[in-house]
Structure 1
Amino acid sequence: MKTKLLKNVFSSAIITGIIAFSVSCTVKQENDVCRVAALNDSIWKCSSWISVSDAPVVTGKVIDGTRSADGASWFVTTVTNSKDVRQALWMTTGLGVYDIYVNGTLAGDEILKPGFTHYQKTRLSFTYDITNVYNSDKGEENILSAQVTPGWWADKIITPYNNAGMIGKKCAFRSVLELTYTDGTKEYVGTDTEKWKAGIAGPVTHAAIFDGEDYDARILPGYETPEKLYKPELNTEFKGEIIPSVGADVYFRKDLALPPAEVYIWKGVTGESDDEYGKVNILRKYSPEETITVSSGENLVVDFGQNCAAVPSFVFQAEEGTVLECFPSELLNDGNGAKSRGMDGQEGSVHRLNLRIPDDGMRLKYIFPSCESYVEFCPRNTFFGYRFVTIRTSGDVSIKSIRSVPVTSIKKEMETGKITTGNEMVNKLISNTVWGMRSNYLSVPTDCPQRNERLGWTADTQVFAETGTFFANTLSFFHKWMRDMMDTQSETGGFPGVAPLAQYGGEMMRVGWADAGIIVPWTMWKQYGDAGIIEQCWESMEKYINHVNDTKYDHNVLKEENMNYQWADWLSYEPLESCGGGAFGKNRKGNPGPLPDAVDYWNYLSASYWIIDAGMMRDMALATGRDASRYENMVAEAKAYVKGKFLTADGKFKTDVLNTMQTPALFALKNGLVEGEAKTSLISRLRNNFAEHGNCLQTGFLGTSILMPVLTENGMSDIAWELLLQRKNPSWLYSIDNGATTIWERWNSYMIESGMGPKGMNSFNHYAYGVVCEWIWESVAGIASDPACPGFRHIIMKPVPDKRIGFVDAVYDSASGRIKSSWKYEGDTWIWEFTVPEGCTASVTLPCEEVAKEYGAGDYRIER
């Protein structure tokens, strides 16, 4: 059905009460607008970047909490058809987060367009077939409009601390409309300063990624307020390339919308003292579907039961001009608000200190219009990371419905795998991992969705990349992100700690972070059998591995690039951990810096990744018909270097402290650096280490990424199972016992007995440690891809069962078809049923056996 425009807004500035009412109280949607392939790149020549000439600009030094400029930029034009139109295609992009409208109809399912990219080098475009909402008859008029807000351009997320103003100065819009007439001729209408009008207008009065969104529903959208629009100016800020977006777009997951789990109103406090904020007085509670009434001076708290990247969606009503403010949070204050527990308010109120800018950002403000019925509102220009919200109002507000709507690049159609066990704690761990992925695969693979960061941290990315492929088809997502990675690569070949370039930037060659530039393409190729990502990244990867090879990844040689700092095995419980300061001290001259043992440790880890990277380059060279011998030789050279520099003949580390740690031993085993008695001795020491720590892991980001498969591959699957089912700190289940609904940044982000972990860097939605689910898929369920025949054309099926979880039921829609693996115990009998898809083969190794047997496509049942 086509939407006909009632009145050309440029023909008359008279807005009737009926039209104003409909705009304020409803959001028009149109399902007949569909996404299509981009127009030819040459068509961009028909357009220019345009901005609002007097748009406000942030000046002065930008610090944490500096807010973006107020207002939304609107761009509007009227198109009059010179002939009857058969098809209308609209190719669009923006500097800042944008939405487009055709005759007042919002076009496109995507939100937060065009996404997060390198601000200097790449903009993504979106093209829509708008024919069904376009008035097509000759002589008819159509209003095309766009709203652009600062997100990912003119806000703090890409602007370094102390920068003079925001990196992006003004929001801008660029587009080309292609009209195909019924006689077959075409016409192009591009953004320019003559046919388009622009101005700061519309109900969004402030919006940014960190800031949140302010929305005044009394104000009409820009296409309804021509008096606020005038001649735009050309914008020359962006000189990079515009490319079509083919992955990592962002969507609302309305199918996952979360209703309240608990709702209450509080006012006033009891039990406060100098050391404790006290406890809130709860006035009333509401059932999840009950209409909520909140008044001025009261505080509404809503628990959605699940932490995620999301926005709250409302159906509510109040008198015109009533202000509602909403503040998201990951947890509630407890323990009578004891400051010694890291609390920032009364027990029962929301805790926001871990957001880092609790007073300046991560908030929502809505001003009610004049409307006799309930209105709907859901912000489109920002996102939050939260489980709880608290709401305050300036007057009486009736909330008929409130939902938490997840925001993610993982569409429902992308989800590929589901795995269930007989252990509810393990199932919760799997659920927490999936929600962490949904939350952090958001345009880029972010570290966390809640605080003033939300960046494409590269170690988090490479650690979790393979795990994510089991839960969703992430291939196009990582094709996009590898463009971000290559955009951010240094001239010397170094890869960054964050991609795309953002507020934290400049450091390169941080071990385990930089290596994502090779690990991610290799992982995508192995899991999907897609050589295209190798071709896309080959030159970049080759430049990087040459740099690693030339420098032997030596910390001191690379000091100018790594800034004399390594994150290394971040947030581990072991000696020489960087975040806690264990890697640093004073040298003989009394100057602060990394300890000699720490530098040795970093160099060992770096050389370990040199081996890994070279091996992956060998695999990818073979896959694409390139000469792999150079990389085979590089693997041998790197191994010889590590053995000679860091290990003794009996398999001990020359730097004594490394012999007391888990992570160095794990990397030695992963890379096959020890053999015979030396290997036996190292495994014995590693077993003793776990025993000395009460069968608890001590590893951080890097060590945990290889922990479980290395243990399993080296005869220590018993320890792997102990670690999985361990409930002491540190362990995966410890966080669940302490209330986790996603994966945490720290093993001890929160402790029931003592409260918050360090608030300066403490995220409750950080997916990296969810890498354990890679092991659950590959070693518990026994579904793994063979690099010799990638994309699951040949499957490695080697399940390692344990009675304590009862059963496993796994279904995975791989690149080569549906794979199933289900096992259970009936008494002492282990029963395994599995499916090899058509056209595939599998190497099957039964528990306690060493020799694999080959299976073709089919369904199988084994008892033993």
Structure 2
Amino acid sequence: MKIVDQKCNYQFNPIGISLEDIVFTWKCVETLGTKSVKTRFIIAEDDKIEKVIHQEESSEIASPYHPEFICDAGKTYYWKVCVTDDAGDYCESGVSSFEGGHPDGQFSGMWITPKFSHELHPVMRKVFSLTKDELEKIKKTRLYICGLGLYEAYINGQKVGNDYLTPYFTDYRYWIQYQTYDIGKLLKEGENTVTVYLANGWYKGKFGYMAYGQMCEYYGDKFLLIADMILSGDGFEKRICTDESWDCLKSPVASSGIYDGEVWDFRKQKNILGAQGREVSKAVAAKEPVGKLTPMIGTPLRAHERIKPSEILLTPAGEYVIDFGQEISGWVEFTNETEKDNRVVLEYGEVLQKGNFYRDNLRTAEAKYTYISSGDKDRARAHFTFFGFRYVKVSGMTLEEIKRADFEAVALYSDIAETGFIETSNEKINRLISNTKWSQKDNFVDIPTDCPQRDERCGWTGDAQIFSGSASYHMETPSFFRKYLKDMLFEQGEKNGAVPYVVPDVLTIGREKMAEPEHDLTEDKWGEAGSSVWGDAAVIIPWNMYLHYGNKVWLSEQYANMKAWCDFMIHMEEEHCQGKRLWDCGFHFGDWLSLDVEGDAAGMDNLEGGTDKYFVSSVYYMTSLEITSKAAAILGKKEDAEKYHVRSLEVRKAIRDKYRTGNGTISINTQTAYAIAIWFDVFDEDETEVAGNNLIEILKKWKYHLATGFVGTTFLCSALTKTGHAKEAFTLLLNEDYPSWLYEVNLGATTIWERWNSLLPDGSISGTEMNSLNHYAYGAIVEWIYTMVCGISVDEDHVAGKKVCITPHVDERLSFARASVDMPVGKYESGWEINNDTVTYSFTVPFDGEAVFVPDKEITDITLNGDSISFDELVKRTFSKGNYEIKASYRQ
């Protein structure tokens, strides 16, 4: 046996994390047995596990595990697990570590700011000395630091840590994350210099689409820095903290912004360490920001894939444009060897038009990086922004200089592991699946954004909710969403439980800055909070996290989000919707960007789609109440469980009374209405067949093409499959003409589009007002491929992979499909292959997991690992750890 993937809060050996509700996870592989029978969990003060301070041994201990013991901040703890399985196999894991934030719980240093204008970017500098004797005494080195808006810290010219865009994006009115770094390898005997570059970022810079994207200083108007460097050993401690002795210099960063990019003057860079005299002023004490300094709760932002150019183009307009072949979020690095004072300008875009560079769909975002050469050889990159791009136009370099510059695109996204993979016999479907994952990576830049390129990049709650299930098959998401939900709860607190459209909520701050009146939630007008589907992120994201990861501790933490949203909906229904158990007042996005009212063709009109938006809001009202009831029951909150369950049943009855017109029939004749009614059980079980047939009749009117928006697309294929129409669901997946997923693949998409016709058949862009080529919402189809095509799924009866119901669906238009998902207990694999009249199903169950196998129809002539077995025996069997192959006769 081996124990692998030992993580604390889903991170390897984290330091500087919040110690509240920490959880530990691990996996067992190469075991002799099938499941664990005894686990010992140990925490110690030393890496040899001799000074044990906490241990437990039980058959009940399993990953994720939350030990009840008190940790001290700033202290490094070491932990291991010992597992015995049912075959007597025993293993002790390696030793992992974790560490909380600042040992004092607060900083010794003060917040400082430069004397000069708040428009000029500063570098804050401190010189300190270490003797040989001091260096020998030092056993532990930590830098606790936070800079606003964004910061990068260097010691002796070397970057501290491998994180970017710190301290990340939170609602700075409530809380601000600080980071903790081990800096021991950067220190030297004699004079040391710490320099911290500050830039605008989300805190101070231009952000949000309000006021035509020109609004800035949402959270503050000054550059700020606080830091404590603590160097300690046996009986020794030295602290270097921010105070008014720190130097301030004008930065080589002439300007920076999330949308517009960055200007970096390398002529000024060379003198940062040694600048003296008039170039230097002293820092001054600053008023501390409103938000509370908090250790890390989210995941760090890291550089991941590095992509070389696929082609250097000379466009018809005479421009040099680099095509990287894949749309990503991040930046481009290059080596400059041009002469002094030369300006190299990189402009970022998603698509070419008529062979030329294009970025009009980015609206007001300039998306530009300007490098001013020092005349020396330098490696250049953006430091305080990111771009969404595939193409980069290069100015200020000849073709030969471009070729020598070793251009490289760097993908930037939150540091979460990939867990899910799918492969089919159809390369276009494989490209689609890849596109969904790339759109997730590109939009998981600290918060779940809608798009990474234009003047928006906000944490839209509806998009995040819609994709959260797919996201959690693709990647390990609980820590990422935990931070997002923490911000959401703060903002629900100021809105009577209503969830903002975007989190962090820059829309409310923007409205207040423009002195506009507070939005009336009872009016059917665009506002800033309180819409169904978008607001249901407060319930559905925590629930999906529980289903995928079984983390009851964090479900308990996030139950506050769920309860606040449900109580808000109840208040709206009772106080403003006549108490008739329907949510039929106020603004709702409906089936956003649906095609059933010519949504794409109508430009910005009719964006809410052809489905009665109050039907959508009422169905989600019912669904969130029932989910919250289930969560309450799991957490032992019996009164809440009963309250929300009863209300959910009342809402369901009201929906049926108003919209049901017969057996399996409702009054709204749209794909979306039937899809969500089927999926969320508005119909009784004995009505499902008729409801499915009605959905098929609607599909026929659309010539077996989808006509859905953000809501309906999420559930259309699943609803069809649920009602026995998997063949039609496969048809939707395999369609290649407009509107379809493969339509965009055929037009060269490497990510998921915001609109079904973001590009027209000739490759021209359909519009610029709201048109992103990197939006993940429609990528939710991948959840159906994982769960119903390949058959690996989680649900309330099969949480976190402890037991999985493998339910693959076969279609002869694919010769094979297979998937793997690394769940909390280990990796499940499932797939099928058709060969003439035989279908071969194969699946793998990991250690500590179980599975039942239910094919999409009753198969005959069955063998299991070569032995004959009846259909009834097959579907009743529970499979434990192992590899299984089922062969059967196949008839479509």
Q: Could you say which TM-score interval applies, normalised by the shorter chain?
A: 0.7 to 0.9
CA contact (8 A) 1:316 1:397 kept: no
What's the secondary structure of 1:567's corresponding residue? coil
State which of 395, 405, 411 in structure 2 corresponds to 1:407.
411
1:333-370 alpha-carbon deviations (Å, 9 max, x no partner): 11xxxxxxxxxxxxx22111000026xx2101111112
Distance in 1 of aligned mates of 2:552 and 2:716: 28
Pick closer, same or farther for the CA change 1:553–1:145 going to 2, 3 Å.
Answer: farther
Pick closer, same or farther for the CA change 1:764–1:396 going to 2, 3 Å.
Answer: closer
Q: Is 1:575 aligned to residue 597 of structure 2?
A: yes
Give the CA deviation at 1:429. 0.4
Residue identity matched to 1:630:
K
Which residue of structure 2 lines up, in the alignment, with residue 294 of structure 1? Answer: none
Give the CA deviation at 1:649. 4.4
Which residue of structure 2 lines up, in the alignment, with residue 364 of structure 1? Answer: 369
Q: Is 1:500 aligned to residue 504 of structure 2?
A: yes
1:502-521 equivalence runs, <5 A: 502-503=506-507, 507-521=528-542
CA contact (8 A) 2:115 2:283 kept: yes
Distance in 2 of aligned mates of 1:835 and 1:802: 21
Distance in 2 of aligned mates of 1:41 and 1:746: 49
State which of 330, 349, 356 in structure 2 corresponds to 1:310.
330
Q: 538-547 or 381-390, which moves further after superposition?
A: 538-547
Give the CA deviation at 1:330. 0.7
Distance in 2 of aligned mates of 1:581 and 1:103: 53
CA contact (8 A) 1:180 1:187 kept: yes
Pick closer, same or farther for the CA change 1:455–1:699 going to 2, 3 Å.
Answer: same
Pick closer, same or farther for the CA change 1:503–1:539 going to 2, 3 Å.
Answer: closer
CA contact (8 A) 1:433 1:767 kept: yes
Structure 2 unaligned residues grouped into runs of 5+? 1-95, 510-526, 859-870
Give the CA deviation at 1:804. 1.3
Pick closer, same or farther for the CA change 1:519–1:676 going to 2, 3 Å.
Answer: closer
Give the CA deviation at 1:521. 0.6
CA contact (8 A) 1:824 1:831 kept: yes
Distance in 1 of aligned mates of 2:379 and 2:809: 51
State which of 273, 280, 286 in structure 1 corresponds to 2:317.
280
What's the secondary structure of 1:328's corresponding residue? strand
1:500-526 alpha-carbon deviations (Å, 9 max, x no partner): 122576611111101001110100110
Which residue of structure 1 lines up, in the alignment, with residue 221 of structure 2? Answer: 169
Distance in 1 of aligned mates of 2:631 and 2:307: 42
Give the CA deviation at 1:160. 4.6
CA contact (8 A) 1:749 1:756 kept: yes
State which of 149, 152, 155 in structure 1 corresponds to 2:199.
149
Pick closer, same or farther for the CA change 1:442–1:101 going to 2, 3 Å.
Answer: same
What's the secondary structure of 1:224's corresponding residue? coil
Q: Is 1:805 aligned to residue 809 of structure 2?
A: no
CA contact (8 A) 1:44 1:175 kept: no
1:10-29 equivalence runs, <5 A: none
Which residue of structure 2 lines up, in the alignment, with residue 617 of structure 1? Answer: 628
Distance in 1 of aligned mates of 2:817 and 2:352: 34
Distance in 1 of aligned mates of 2:326 and 2:394: 18
Pick closer, same or farther for the CA change 1:206–1:387 going to 2, 3 Å.
Answer: same
Distance in 1 of aligned mates of 2:337 and 2:778: 42
State which of 648, 673, 696 in structure 1 corresponds to 2:705.
696
State which of 343, 348, 357 in structure 2 corresponds to 1:350.
357
Residue identity matched to 1:517:
A
Which residue of structure 2 lines up, in the alignment, with residue 491 of structure 1? Answer: 495
CA contact (8 A) 2:842 2:883 kept: yes
CA contact (8 A) 2:539 2:562 kept: yes
Which residue of structure 2 lines up, in the alignment, with residue 77 of structure 1? Answer: 126
What's the secondary structure of 1:614's corresponding residue? helix
Q: 800-809 or 627-636, which moves further after superposition?
A: 627-636
Residue identity matched to 1:188:
R
Distance in 1 of aligned mates of 2:167 and 2:677: 43
Which residue of structure 2 lines up, in the alignment, with residue 236 of structure 1? Answer: 287
CA contact (8 A) 2:577 2:585 kept: no
State which of 456, 467, 476 in structure 2 corresponds to 1:473.
476
Which residue of structure 2 lines up, in the alignment, with residue 330 of structure 1? Answer: 350
Which residue of structure 2 lines up, in the alignment, with residue 538 of structure 1? Answer: 559
State which of 827, 834, 843 in structure 2 corresponds to 1:834.
843
CA contact (8 A) 2:172 2:290 kept: no
CA contact (8 A) 2:417 2:476 kept: yes
1:377-420 alpha-carbon deviations (Å, 9 max, x no partner): 12121111111111111779713144443333344x71112211
Distance in 1 of aligned mates of 2:97 and 2:264: 28
Distance in 2 of aligned mates of 1:355 and 1:147: 28
Give the CA deviation at 1:710. 1.6
Pick closer, same or farther for the CA change 1:555–1:770 going to 2, 3 Å.
Answer: farther
Distance in 2 of aligned mates of 1:824 and 1:214: 54
Q: Is 1:765 aligned to residue 774 of structure 2?
A: yes
User: What is the TM-score of this pair, normalised by structure 1?
Assistant: 0.82
Pick closer, same or farther for the CA change 1:809–1:673 going to 2, 3 Å.
Answer: closer
Which residue of structure 2 lines up, in the alignment, with residue 100 of structure 1? Answer: 153
Residue identity matched to 2:426:
N
CA contact (8 A) 2:820 2:827 kept: yes
Distance in 2 of aligned mates of 1:703 and 1:158: 28
Which residue of structure 1 lines up, in the alignment, with residue 655 of structure 2? Answer: 642
Distance in 2 of aligned mates of 1:768 and 1:821: 25
1:291-340 alpha-carbon deviations (Å, 9 max, x no partner): xxxxxxxx211111111112111123111111111111111111xxxxxx
Q: Is 1:441 aligned to residue 444 of structure 2?
A: yes
Structure 1 unaligned residues grouped into runs of 5+? 1-33, 58-70, 267-278, 282-298, 335-347, 585-593
Pick closer, same or farther for the CA change 1:568–1:225 going to 2, 3 Å.
Answer: farther
Distance in 2 of aligned mates of 1:118 and 1:544: 19
Distance in 2 of aligned mates of 1:644 and 1:387: 51
Distance in 2 of aligned mates of 1:357 and 1:219: 29
Pick closer, same or farther for the CA change 1:312–1:165 going to 2, 3 Å.
Answer: closer
Distance in 2 of aligned mates of 1:43 and 1:300: 53
CA contact (8 A) 2:209 2:456 kept: no
Q: 730-739 or 667-676, which moves further after superposition?
A: 667-676
Distance in 1 of aligned mates of 2:569 and 2:626: 13
Pick closer, same or farther for the CA change 1:333–1:580 going to 2, 3 Å.
Answer: closer
Distance in 2 of aligned mates of 1:553 and 1:570: 26
Distance in 2 of aligned mates of 1:187 and 1:95: 25
Pick closer, same or farther for the CA change 1:580–1:752 going to 2, 3 Å.
Answer: closer
Pick closer, same or farther for the CA change 1:132–1:300 going to 2, 3 Å.
Answer: same
Q: Percent same amino acid among aligned pairs?
A: 28
Which residue of structure 1 lines up, in the alignment, with residue 10 of structure 2? Answer: none
CA contact (8 A) 1:248 1:409 kept: no
Give the CA deviation at 1:623. 2.5
Give the CA deviation at 1:780. 0.9
What's the secondary structure of 2:308's corresponding residue? coil
CA contact (8 A) 1:114 1:123 kept: yes
Which residue of structure 1 lines up, in the alignment, with residue 722 of structure 2? Answer: 713
Q: Is 1:128 aligned to residue 181 of structure 2?
A: yes
Pick closer, same or farther for the CA change 1:493–1:43 going to 2, 3 Å.
Answer: closer
Pick closer, same or farther for the CA change 1:514–1:458 going to 2, 3 Å.
Answer: same
1:614-763 equivalence runs, <5 A: 614-627=625-638, 628-654=641-667, 658-659=668-669, 661-675=670-684, 678-753=687-762, 755-763=764-772
Which residue of structure 2 lines up, in the alignment, with residue 179 of structure 1? Answer: 231
Pick closer, same or farther for the CA change 1:831–1:396 going to 2, 3 Å.
Answer: closer
Residue identity matched to 1:610:
Y
User: What is the TM-score of this pair, normalised by structure 2?
Assistant: 0.79
How many residues align? The count is 745
What's the secondary structure of 1:785's corresponding residue? coil
Distance in 2 of aligned mates of 1:801 and 1:554: 49
What's the secondary structure of 2:885's corresponding residue? strand
Give the CA deviation at 1:563. 11
RMSD: 2.7
Residue identity matched to 1:236:
K
CA contact (8 A) 1:88 1:134 kept: no
1:470-508 alpha-carbon deviations (Å, 9 max, x no partner): 221111111111112112224311011100122576611
1:129-174 alpha-carbon deviations (Å, 9 max, x no partner): 1112123x6xx43222211100111112258528886222112111
Distance in 1 of aligned mates of 2:483 and 2:121: 27
